[in-house]
Structure 1
Amino acid sequence: MKIKRYQANDMRSAIRIVRNELGSDAVILSNQRVGDQTEVIAAIDYDESLLNDSLITKDVLLSTSSDKNRDKLNNDLKYTRNLQNNVELNESDFILPEKVEKDLITKIEAELVEKIEKGLTKKLKQDTNIVKPNVDVPAVPAMTDMKKQIKELRSLLITQLSGISADNEKNNNPLRATVLKKLIGFGLSHNLANKISDYTNTNKDFEYNWHHALALISHKIKVTKDDILSSGGTIALIGATGVGKTTSIAKLAAQFILRHGKDSVALISTDSYRIAAHEQLRTFSRILNVPMYVATDSKQLKTVLNVVRDKKLVLIDTAGLNKYGKNICSDFNEIHGKQAISTYIVHAVNSQRSVIDDVCNSFSNVNVKACILTKLDETTNFGGALSVCIEKNIPVAYFSDGQKIPDNLHEAFSHSLVSKNVALMQEFKRNVKKYKTPKVDNGIVSHAHG
């Protein structure tokens, strides 16, 4: 076991030092004030071979995790589930109050660790003069169960403390709490919203801080400055099924033809997984009067790329890849992995932020140059997509807000994206106010519009 003493200005700083040096599995044995400093004793790395079934049993575990504590933690857990937007908080996202540290963490975790240490000390004294054989001692099952229980208790404590921290934030810094709430309503992840709300100026009013926060969001969004339509190249669009890849290709091709002529564009489809997958792109090619080719493997794609090497813009349509379809992903890498192709990922902004984040993770092995946001006309808030682009450091190239070809594809500007999302939020809020709850008189609805 490794036991170490730390001193810091406050409990929060002390816990941060413990976490950085000993890791997230460290436990606090005690804490006290020493002058103007907070002293913490922490420990990690228990020697499991020193314990046996008689030393640590499930009775010890149950005695420290009483029904009373579990009921309290479960009730607090229910409270935190009702936080706005079901935001998931990480351990680093909240400030641990000193009182809560003493009342909860010391009472549960430190009490459990104290019993473990007493048992270890007793066992070490008994075995001082015993020569142990040079063999591997199997791990004590009770120790494994105990570690699992400690992790569960820690998770419950984090959830409970997050609710207390949120209340303290509202009381101690109501302006920052209001800005944070507004940013989460904008669609940002809690982590990103916390970082931006840290710039809240308490000497200014909410209106100033809100506009300043929007400016920070705009500054964090990267754009590509119309690179496809101005420079051309060999472009592949990837993304989940139904996000609008094929329609986006048609819009890009149509706008490029208006600038550079129809002889400068060629279309390629690599989608061999859907029935009649090529027909939609073939229909677009006939309307636009540009050549269209089909390549179902890397060999065919190499041949087709050689045929269209004189074209200024080559657009490649791909199959909608499901994040669980490992076979399809491997086929995609086989087709595109060795080709000089710029890859753009297409996101439908009417999807949840977690879904967009998962799609990005499923393409983590692909070198994505930028993204195209689609279906802005089918959502009331696309801040979640912007949040993912900021956190994944993915530039935004274009956005689409309708089905018209080529009119509804626009070059992305960071400030216009932020302004458009704010306008959508305000429009949605106005529409909600139009509908009032019907009044009920003696169990009968008096009128339909309130």
Structure 2
Amino acid sequence: MQLKKFVAKDMRSALTQVRDALGEDAAILSTRSVTGGVEVVATQSPPAPDKAAAQAAVDDSVSKAEFGAMRSELNSIRSLLQQRLNGLAWDQFARQTPAQAAIWERLSTMGLPGSVNRRLLDQAGQARTLEQLWRQVLATLSKIIPVAGEDLVEQGGIFALLGPTGAGKTTTIAKLATRYVLRHGAEEVALVTTDSFRLAAHEQLRTLGRILGVSVRIVDNQHSLAETLESLSHKKLVLIDTAGLPSRHPEQMRQLTELQAQPQVHKWLVLPSTTQAQVLNAAWKSCSTAAISGCILTHLDEACVMGEALGLCIERQLPVVYETFGQSIPDDLSLATGQALVKRAVALGRAQAAIPVDRNRVVNEYGSQAAGNTALANRALM
């Protein structure tokens, strides 16, 4: 864009100069008073856009808007059709096998996902009564929940706890460390934090270290995880606390990269039972790159249901190592067993039984597992 400056004794004369030099369509950019008159800065206006091109752009925008509206309408129709098919499938299921439908509702009340419900009912044998079938399903559930089955921390090693903020990582480390110190003394224990993002995290671990009389190390820009673990190679038990950060946070990526490079470290995901399934799955997806080998279920004393956390463990074949159920250190921690987890899940489910069953959720979960429903909905719109 070419700028031109015009100086005249008054504005009328200046505008005349602009018109003569740049034409009637000149654009005035600025004006100001100067000694002896006024100064005007102007330029030629850009050429008008090609009308045909402009119209084509408008037409293209309208076609895209219409296509988007059509796609949204088709998705709405597909969703309504899917719900209808789910309802028909559930009604048929409930009529043909009322006992299994009742069991499905109980399992949904416990928070278990439809895929696990389907698996449990498929593996159930013949039963004369509803309660017989229920006991068979619970026995199967206790078998398919993966558990470590041994007190791994008691055997020593290096263990890193990962998970979302508030999952209970630091409290769980305090329980594990305290229990080990009470049994074997403080000399063989060390605590490490990779959370250089929050100062409070350092202080929590330092305070715990002073109380227990154990070594505490901080991984930061000056001290890598590899160097820190090398300096603690003489310790029998090393517990690593990590920061709970979003999956794409640079600090989280640094933590996972460092942990992934240490195959001797057992990486455990801390799953709060008070958290929704979507959040639990997001935590798994975020941390799975570090080769998670087990998990710890926390906040069981505050949970309304356990099925969402158990469902993740079953579907991902993620062994449960410990469960925690309170703030008392070190007492509120125990080795996980399938029977104990099921017993607790059933008790929570019974407490939820007073709340009316969300039929839409039950129907949609069953429908998502019923063969052919989605394919029928898609074919109906072709």
Asked if Structure 1 and Structure 2 have the same fold, meaning a TM-score greater than 0.5 normalized by the shorter chain, the answer is yes
Q: Which amino acid letter does the alignment assign opposite residue 338 of structure 1? A: A
What aligned pairs does 1:427-442 form with structure 2 within 5 A after superposition?
427=351
| Cα distance in 2 between the residues matched to 1:195 and 1:355 | 23
- Quick one: structure 1 residues 187 and 142, their matched pair in 2 at CA, closer, same or farther if it must change by over 3 Å? closer
Q: Does 1:290 align with 2:290?
A: no
- Quick one: structure 1 residues 404 and 148, their matched pair in 2 at CA, closer, same or farther if it must change by over 3 Å? closer
Matched residue, 2:326: 402
Give 3-state SS (helix, strand or coil) of 1:410's partner.
strand
Matched residue, 1:173: 97
What aligned pairs does 1:58-77 form with structure 2 within 5 A after superposition?
none
Aligned mate of 2:197, from 269, 273, 276? 273
| Cα distance in 2 between the residues matched to 1:295 and 1:361 | 24
Give 3-state SS (helix, strand or coil) of 1:377's partner.
coil
CA contact (8 A) 2:160 2:268 kept: yes
Aligned mate of 1:330, from 253, 264, 278? 253
| Cα distance in 1 between the residues matched to 2:150 and 2:124 | 34
Matched residue, 2:169: 245
Q: Deviations over 1:174-215 (max 9, x none)?
A: 111111111111211012112212345565210011111111
> How far is 1:225 from its partner?
2.4
Give 3-state SS (helix, strand or coil) of 1:242's partner.
coil
Matched residue, 1:47: none
CA contact (8 A) 2:191 2:240 kept: yes
Q: How many residues align?
A: 293
Matched residue, 2:269: 345
Q: Does 1:164 align with 2:88?
A: yes
> How far is 1:364 from its partner?
2.7
| Cα distance in 1 between the residues matched to 2:168 and 2:336 | 17
Q: CA RMSD in A?
A: 2.6
What aligned pairs does 1:48-197 form with structure 2 within 5 A after superposition?
153-197=77-121
Structure 2 alignment gaps of length 5 or more: 1-63, 357-382
> How far is 1:161 from its partner?
0.5
- Quick one: structure 1 residues 180 and 425, their matched pair in 2 at CA, closer, same or farther if it must change by over 3 Å? closer
> How far is 1:163 from its partner?
1.2
CA contact (8 A) 2:323 2:333 kept: yes
Q: Which moves more between the two structures, 144-153 or 298-307? A: 144-153
Q: TM-score, normalised by structure 1?
A: 0.60
Give 3-state SS (helix, strand or coil) of 2:190's partner.
strand
- Quick one: structure 1 residues 180 and 264, their matched pair in 2 at CA, closer, same or farther if it must change by over 3 Å? same
Q: Which amino acid letter does the alignment assign opposite residue 238 of structure 1? A: L
- Quick one: structure 1 residues 210 and 298, their matched pair in 2 at CA, closer, same or farther if it must change by over 3 Å? farther
Q: Does 1:362 align with 2:311?
A: no
| Cα distance in 1 between the residues matched to 2:207 and 2:198 | 16
| Cα distance in 2 between the residues matched to 1:276 and 1:147 | 50
- Quick one: structure 1 residues 406 and 170, their matched pair in 2 at CA, closer, same or farther if it must change by over 3 Å? same
Q: Which amino acid letter does the alignment assign opposite residue 321 of structure 1? A: L
| Cα distance in 1 between the residues matched to 2:241 and 2:154 | 20
CA contact (8 A) 2:110 2:305 kept: yes
Q: Does 1:384 align with 2:300?
A: no
Structure 1 alignment gaps of length 5 or more: 1-139, 434-450
> How far is 1:149 from its partner?
6.2
Q: Which amino acid letter does the alignment assign opposite residue 348 of structure 1? A: P
Q: Which amino acid letter does the alignment assign opposite residue 333 of structure 1? A: L
Q: Deviations over 1:313-341 (max 9, x none)?
A: 10111001223x34233211232221231
> How far is 1:276 from its partner?
2.2
Q: Does 1:209 align with 2:133?
A: yes
Q: Which amino acid letter does the alignment assign opposite residue 244 of structure 1? A: G
- Quick one: structure 1 residues 382 and 298, their matched pair in 2 at CA, closer, same or farther if it must change by over 3 Å? farther
Matched residue, 1:84: none
Q: TM-score, normalised by structure 2?
A: 0.71
Q: Which amino acid letter does the alignment assign opposite residue 326 of structure 2? A: G
Aligned mate of 1:372, from 291, 296, 318? 296
Q: Which amino acid letter does the alignment assign opposite residue 330 of structure 1? A: M
Q: Which amino acid letter does the alignment assign opposite residue 419 of structure 1? A: K
| Cα distance in 2 between the residues matched to 1:263 and 1:199 | 49
Q: Deviations over 1:387-408 (max 9, x none)?
A: 1110111000001111111111
| Cα distance in 2 between the residues matched to 1:202 and 1:224 | 31
